[in-house]
Structure 1
Amino acid sequence: MRTTTYCYPWDLARLGVARALGEIAGHGIQAIDLAANYHPIDALSPRGGVNLFSDARGAVYFPARAGRYGRIKPLIHSPEIAGAWSLAAEEAARIGLGLNSWTITLFQPWIRDAHPDCARVLPWGDSSGSGVCAANPDVRTYIVELCADLADQFGIDLFRLEGVLPHTFDLDWLRPRALVRISALARTLSNLCFCGSCKARGKAAGIDVSALQARVVRTIEAEIVGEPNSDERAAALALDADLMAFAESHARASIELVGEVAARVGHAARVSANAITPYRSLLGDARDDALLTGFITAGTQVDLNVLNPAGNRLVAALNAAVESPRPLSALYVTIRNPTVTSAAQVAESGVDKMLQNLQATADVGVRELSLYNYGLLPDADVRVFMEAVGQLRLD
C-alpha cells in the first residue's frame, strides 16, 4: 500500500523543510500532498511547540507567476511561506519523496471578495460569502492556469483537486447561524446555484430558469417555514424535467472543470478528485450514477474517504465498470478533538477500529492511503497509522 501525507507549506517553513521532509520519509511515507493554496483556517500544530496559523480568507501558498493568469490573479499569502514550495520540491527530489499538489478549487473567499460575480448564488438570490462556482469561465481559467503554473515550476506527480462540487450548501459558511430545522429536501434544493453562469447554462439548454428558480424557492420556504410535507413535494419535483436538467448541469460544470485540468496538465501529472454529488435523492440512482461516472472518467485517479464506506463501495463499483478503471486512493483523518467532528469517535476507538476501516478501504481496491495531516498530528499518531497500514491484506 502506497502512503502519502497531506501537509501545509507554513508548517514546512516554520519547522524547516529538510527536517520535516526527512521525518516524513523516515516514517516510510512515500509522497507529500502539499497545499498549493488554501481556504480560511485556524490550524493548531503540536509540532515544534504549539503553534497557531490563521488565514481569514484563504490565499495562494506557492510563488505563482501573475503574468500567466487572466482576470483572476493569484493572491499570494507571503513570500516566506510561498518559498517553502521551491525548497520542498528540491528536497523531495533529493531524498526520493513524491510531490503532489493539494489544490483547493471553489472554497476561495478571496476570489469571491475580488470578483463577486464569481460567487455561488443560493436559490433565493443571496451570494455565498466564501464559495465560487465551477460554471464561471473566469474561475475555470484561473484553476486550470494555477495547476499548469505548478506543473511547469515543480514537476508535480499528482494534483488532488479538493471541493470541486460542494456536497452541502453550507459547507463553506464561516461561523454559521442556522437555528431552524432544514429538511433533507430543503438542503438538497439549496445546493443549486443560480449565479449568472449557471443561469446562462440553463437558458442555453432550453430551461425557463426564472420560473424554475421561483418553484425551487417556494419549495424551500415551505419546507423551512411552512408545514413539513417533504414526501409529497419530492414526488412533485421528481416530475420536473427542468429541475433535473438544471441540477445535472450544475454537477457537470464541476466534471468539466476536472476534465479541463486533466487536459491541461495530464501529460505531466495525474489528476485526482472526489466523485460525489449532492443530488442523489433528487435525481435518483441511475442519473446520479451517471454523474459519478463522469467525475471518475474526467480525471486519471479517484479520491475516496476512509470514513465513507458505503460511498466508497458505490464509487469503486462504478469505477470497475468504466472502460479504463482509475486507480483509487483514500484520505484518512485522525481527529482527537470531540468538538470538531464525530470522526473523533473513530480515532478514540483504538487501533483495531482504524485497521478495520483501512482494511475495508483496501478491500474495494484502494492502493494509496493519504494521512491528514502531518503538521496537525504528533508523531505518535503517524506511527500508529503506518503500523496499521503495514497490517493490511492486499488480495
Structure 2
Amino acid sequence: MKTSAFVYPWDVIGDPDAARRIADLGVQQVTLASAYHSTRALTPRHPRHRVVTARHAAILYPPSPHRWSGRALRPYAQDWVPCADPYAEAADALRAAGLSVHSWVVLAHNSRLGEEHPRTSVTNAYGDHYPWAPCIAQPEVRDYAITLAAEAAVRPGADGTELESCGWYGFAHLHAHDKVGGVPLGPAAQYLMSLCFCSACAGGYAGLGLRADDLRDAVRTALAPVWAGERVDEEKLLGAEFAARTLAWRAEAARTFQHDVIRAVRDEAPPGFQVLLHADPAPHHTGANPGVDPHHVLAHADGVVLPGGVGVDAFAPHTRPGTVLAANFPIVAGMGGSPRTLAADAARVAALGATELRLYHVGLASDADLAAVRGAIA
C-alpha cells in the first residue's frame, strides 16, 4: 500500500537530516501543511528547537496579491518559521529525498478569522459564537475557503492535495485550554451543539419550511436533559421532522461547498493532480473529518482520507479505478497512537478496501515510534 506521512514545514526547515530520515521510514509520499490552524508542536529531533508555537491559523507560503486584493476575509501570514516560503523550502528538500509531495490544506477551522470577524462563525442555539468554526453556508466564507483551497492546494511541484475540514465544523474542537468536559456530550448532543443559527443557516432552514426560532427552541428543549446527564440520539432529542430537515439543509450546504472547492482546485491544477478530502461517512459528523455523502464526494474527488479507516466499507461500493481510500492512523504513542500495531491495522483496512495509508504524524513522533513504523512498513 502506498504510504504518506504528515509533515509540517518546520519539521524539515533547519534540519538537514529530516527529509532523508522521513524517506528512510519507507514511505513514498509526504502530506505537507500549506495552510494550517493554530497549534503548539513538539519537534523532538530538530537541531535548533524543540517547540514550535503557531499562534494562529496561517498559510505557509506567500499569498498571491491579486487573488486577495480588496477582500475582507483573507488568509493570515505566519512569522514562526524563519523563511519567506516555508512550504516551498520544505517541499524542495523532501522531493530531493525522493518523496512525492502533496499539500495539506485546512479550510473551515480558523480561530483568528472568527475572532476578527465574528459574523463568519457558527452560532449555536444559545447564541454563542464558535470563532474556530467558520460557517460554510455563508457566501463570504464559502468564497474565502474556495479561493484559499485553490491557492494553498496547488503549490509549485505538488502532485496533489488533501483538504481537511472541507465541510461543517462545530462544537468539538479541543480549543486552547478546553474546560468543557464537565458534562459529557455524546454524538447526538455534539451534533445539536454544532447546529448553526446564523442568518445564512436560518434562511436555509426556512427554505425547507422550518422556522429558525422553532428549531432553536427545540434544540434548547432537547439539550435540557443532557445538562442533567442523560444521553439519547439526535432524532429522539430533536424529533424526526426537525432532525430530517436540519440534516437535509446541512448536507446540501456541505455537498455544494465540497463540489465548488474541488472544482476550484481542479481549475487551478495541472492534469493528473490528485484531490482527496478528509472525511467521514456519517453525514452529521463535524470537524477535521466532516461527514460527506460517499457517492457524491467520490463523483468529484479522487478519494478520501478516513480516520483509522473508519467507513472504508461505506465508500468502497462507490469507487472507480484509481480511487484512493486512505486509512489515517495515529503513530504517536504519547498522543494515543499505536505504531506497533500498524502492520495489523493496515491488513485489516486493506481487507475492507483501503488502498493507501496515512501516518499522523512523523514530526511529532518519538524515535521509538518511528522505529516501530519503519519495521511495520518493512
Q: Does the CA contact (< 8 Å) of 2:276 and 2:304 recur in 1? A: yes
Question: Greater helix percent: which structure?
Answer: 1
- Corresponding residue to 2:352 among 349, 364, 367: 364
**Secondary structure, aligned partner of 2:363:** helix
**Corresponding residue number in structure 2 for 1:28:** 26
Percent of aligned pairs sharing the same letter: 23
**Corresponding residue number in structure 1 for 2:6:** 6
Q: Residues 112 and 218 (structure 1 numbering): CA distance in 2 closer, same or farther, change over 3 Å?
A: same
**Corresponding residue number in structure 1 for 2:43:** 45
- Map Cα deviations across residues 295-334 of structure 1 (whole Å, 9 max, x no partner): 443422111122x5xx33xx43443246678321121211
- Corresponding residue to 1:213 among 213, 216, 221: 216
Give me the whole-angstrom Cα distance separating, in 2, the residues matched to 1:39 and 1:290.
Answer: 22
Please say if 1:271 is aligned against 2:275. yes
Please say if 1:121 is aligned against 2:103. no
Q: Report how far residue 252 of structure 1 moved.
A: 3.2
**Corresponding residue number in structure 2 for 1:316:** 313
Q: Does the CA contact (< 8 Å) of 2:279 and 2:305 recur in 1? A: yes
In structure 2, stretches of 5+ residues that fail to align are none
Structure 1 length as normaliser, TM-score? 0.82
Q: Report how far residue 35 of structure 1 moved.
A: 0.6
The letter for the 2-side match of 1:191 is S
Give me the whole-angstrom Cα distance separating, in 1, the residues matched to 2:111 and 2:168.
Answer: 14
**Corresponding residue number in structure 1 for 2:179:** 177
Please list, as runs of the form range in 1=range in 2, the aligned pairs for 1:333-344 lying within 5 A after superposition.
333-337=330-334, 340=335, 343-344=336-337
Give me the whole-angstrom Cα distance separating, in 2, the residues matched to 1:29 and 1:212.
Answer: 48
- Root-mean-square deviation (CA, aligned residues, Å) is 2.9
Q: Residues 373 and 234 (structure 1 numbering): CA distance in 2 closer, same or farther, change over 3 Å?
A: closer
Give me the whole-angstrom Cα distance separating, in 1, the residues matched to 2:371 and 2:349.
Answer: 19
Give me the whole-angstrom Cα distance separating, in 1, the residues matched to 2:169 and 2:352.
Answer: 22
Q: Report how far residue 116 of structure 1 moved.
A: 1.2
- Corresponding residue to 1:330 among 318, 327, 330: 327
The aligned length equals 365
Please list, as runs of the form range in 1=range in 2, the aligned pairs for 1:83-162 lying within 5 A after superposition.
83-151=85-153, 153-162=155-164
- Map Cα deviations across residues 174-210 of structure 1 (whole Å, 9 max, x no partner): 3222313435532231121222222222223332122
Give me the whole-angstrom Cα distance separating, in 2, the residues matched to 1:272 and 1:152.
Answer: 13
Q: Report how far residue 108 of structure 1 moved.
A: 0.7
**Corresponding residue number in structure 2 for 1:187:** 190
Give me the whole-angstrom Cα distance separating, in 1, the residues matched to 2:248 and 2:159.
Answer: 31
Structure 2 length as normaliser, TM-score? 0.85
Give me the whole-angstrom Cα distance separating, in 1, the residues matched to 2:253 and 2:3.
Answer: 31
The letter for the 1-side match of 2:332 is I
**Secondary structure, aligned partner of 2:333:** coil
Q: Residues 334 and 323 (structure 1 numbering): CA distance in 2 closer, same or farther, change over 3 Å?
A: closer
**Secondary structure, aligned partner of 1:255:** helix
Q: Does the CA contact (< 8 Å) of 2:103 and 2:158 recur in 1? A: yes
